[in-house]
Amino acid sequence: AAGKNWVLTVTAQTPTNIAVIKYWGKRDEDLILPINDSISVTLDPDHLCTTTSVAVSPAFTHDRMWLNGKEVPLSGVRYQNCLKELRSLANDVEEEEKGIKISKKDWEKLHVHIVSYNNFPTAAGLASSAAGLACLVFSLAKLMNVKEDNSRLSAIARQGSGSACRSLYGGFVKWIMGKEENGSDSIAVQLADEKHWDDLVIIIVVVSSRQKETSSTSGMRETVETSALIQHRAKEVVPKRIIQMEEATKNRDFPAFSRLACADSNQFHAVCLDTLPPIFYMKDTSHRIISCVEKWNRFEGTPQVAYTFDAGPNAVLISHNRKTAAQLLQRLLFYFPPQSEADLNSYVIGDKS
Ligand code: 2P0
């Protein structure tokens, strides 16, 4: 036996995902159960992603976590729910070469260390929690030899952060809201893999990398408590859009995809404005980017580019193909000239594939 001097580690990388039909509002705060289905595109792992290493050793006395080099507490109920569920699903692990043998029941006593890095601004509305929690659950599941499939893992990641459940798959992903009170059917499913529509090009325009003022968690709580519009959105508008968006992605119908994504982003920001006190995630520059894209799409007669904004001012622009992406970049550089070289680096460019 290796005594107490061994460490077993696993490293994983998970990209973030961008919702094109948005999740906003919960029916259960503890289990993180949403009030509507949502659909997202998972980005290419080379660009916006989280890298997480997890380690287990008998020498560790507590579960601990470091995010971007700083220790963060794991005492929150969300982390605790994820860890508890993963431990209950853990299995025997044997590394013969290292003389390591962990039995299923050992996982109750063993402690883990988690080290996580985002290669993009944290909590600036670029879905950092999505990539982070998905990666944490995925890497711990590997370490603990959890045998459940990605859909089951998505239900665990969901309890860490709602949007995280969608990052366990590449390509186009639907988070099904589910009906069960215990959340067992509130899971992510893949609609199409990353090769299905790989001529789309996603450009992220960083308007501001500052941390947002209203967190998504408290923002959506206030919306559900105070907005009348959110009920209409969740019950009447989104169910129809989900069906139409599934159809648009299946048929690679860019005009339909673009109209739905833009309309849904705008309605999400409208329900934010309908919240008391109102939440403003977009900035003047965000509005100018919308006008620029809308004018261009109207001029061409058919949509060339879709825009979507999450809980922050940064624009996610999805262009039909590489040619329109090049034209889009030209326009962005003309209308929004970067003031410094650092700004120029903020035009993060990534293929969806
Ligand atoms: C989404 N957003 O569908 C929507 C669109 C932001 C705008 O999911 O409380 O960080 O951890 O479940 O997942 C952001 O919310 O919130 C989000 P919690 P989360 O991507």
Instruction: Specify the pTM.
Output: 0.93
Query: What pLDDT, on the 0 to 100 scale, is given for residue 87?
Result: 98
Query: What pLDDT, on the 0 to 100 scale, is given for residue 282?
Result: 95
Which protein residue has the closest C-alpha to ligand 1 atom 17?
A: 163
For 252-266, the pLDDT digits (tens) are 999 999 999 999 999
Query: How high is the mean pLDDT of the chain?
Result: 92
For 167-180, the pLDDT digits (tens) are 999 999 999 999 99
Q: Residue 167: beta bridge partners?
A: none
CB of 308 closer than 8 Å to CB of 20: yes
Where does ligand 1 bind, in terms of residues with CB under 6 Å? 19, 22-24, 32, 38, 127, 129, 161-163, 216-217, 310-311
Query: What pLDDT, on the 0 to 100 scale, is given for residue 75?
Result: 95
Alpha-carbon span 10 to 241, nearest angstrom: 39
Query: In ligand 1, which atom is closest to the CA atom of 133?
Result: 11
DSSP assigned state of 276: S
**Tokens found for residue 157:** 């990641």
Q: What is the mean pLDDT of residues 45-55?
A: 90
CA distances for 78 relative to 81, 90, 152, 236, angstroms? 5, 19, 17, 30
Query: What pLDDT, on the 0 to 100 scale, is given for residue 208?
Result: 80
DSSP assigned state of 26: E
Query: What pLDDT, on the 0 to 100 scale, is given for residue 207?
Result: 86
Query: In ligand 1, which atom is closest to the CA atom of 22?
Result: 3
Query: In ligand 1, which atom is closest to the CA atom of 163?
Result: 13
Q: Residue 67 belongs to what H/E stretch? A: strand 64-67
Query: In ligand 1, which atom is closest to the CA atom of 17?
Result: 20
Query: What pLDDT, on the 0 to 100 scale, is given for residue 133?
Result: 95
CATH code assigned to 8-192: 3.30.230.10
Query: In ligand 1, which atom is closest to the CA atom of 129?
Result: 10
Residue 347 has pLDDT above 70, yes or no: no
Taking alpha carbons only, the member of 118, 98, 99 closest to residue 43 is 118
Distance between Cα 24 and ligand 1 center (Å) = 7
Residue 44 has pLDDT above 70, yes or no: yes
**Phi, psi values for residue 32, rounded to 5°:** 55, 70
**Phi, psi values for residue 21, rounded to 5°:** -120, 120
Distance between Cα 314 and ligand 1 center (Å) = 15
Which protein residue has the closest C-alpha to ligand 1 atom 14?
A: 216
For 281-318, the pLDDT digits (tens) are 999 999 999 999 999 999 999 999 999 999 999 999 99
Q: Classify domain 201-351 at the CATH class level.
A: alpha beta
- Range from 12-21, 53-62, 68-77, 330-339 carrying the lowest mean pLDDT: 330-339
Taking alpha carbons only, the member of 146, 199, 150 closest to residue 318 is 199
Alpha-carbon span 229 to 192, nearest angstrom: 31
Note whether ipTM > 0.90 here. Answer: yes
Q: What is the mean pLDDT of residues 230-249?
A: 98
Best substitution site from 41, 161, 165 to test ligand 1's pocket, by max atoms within 8 Å of Cβ? 161
What residues does each domain of the chain span? 8-192, 201-351
- Range from 116-120, 157-161, 321-325, 329-333 carrying the lowest mean pLDDT: 116-120
Query: What pLDDT, on the 0 to 100 scale, is given for residue 270?
Result: 98
Query: What pLDDT, on the 0 to 100 scale, is given for residue 241?
Result: 98
Residue 196's pLDDT band (cuts 50, 70, 90): very high
Best substitution site from 129, 238, 316 to test ligand 1's pocket, by max atoms within 8 Å of Cβ? 129
